[in-house]
Amino acid sequence: MKQSVNFSAFIDAFHAHGRYDQFGYEALKVLFEYLEELEADTGEELELDVIALCCDYSVDSPEDIADQYGIDLTDCEDDDDKLDTVTEWLSDNTSVCGTTPTGQIVYCTAF
């Protein structure tokens, strides 16, 4: 038996587990929409496991991701180039859920 979860319940689950600040509102919105799309694409219902999501997904700035994974940004002219370069690298190596309005990238860390 599975329970449908709307965005409000999704946020509440992260608060209940003390994990809201790991993502924040905008990143959780991106993650929620990505997971809903994944369910629709695969036809498989997902179980809400906040701890597993915190282990498998992350949100960071393009610069922080580049530092973490050794992505060269020296040829990037501006923030948009950095975002494109890092997003392309992540897309080649893992799943990108999307970006927040502030330019942070939500992505799968399990690769």
Using an 8 Å Cβ cutoff, are 106 and 30 in contact? yes
79-106 average pLDDT score:
96
Two structure tokens written together for 80: 């948009």
Q: Which residues lie below 8 Å from residue 108, measured CB to CB, with a gap of 6+?
A: 56, 57, 94, 95, 96, 97
What was the pLDDT predicted at 54?
97
Q: Which residues lie below 8 Å from residue 75, measured CB to CB, with a gap of 6+?
A: 81
pTM: 0.93
Q: Which helix (H) or strand (E) holds 19?
A: none
Residues in the chain: 111
Using an 8 Å Cβ cutoff, are 47 and 3 in contact? no
pLDDT-derived band at 90, boundaries 50, 70, 90: very high
What was the pLDDT predicted at 70?
96
What was the pLDDT predicted at 2?
67
Closest CA to 62 of 83, 88, 76, 77: 83
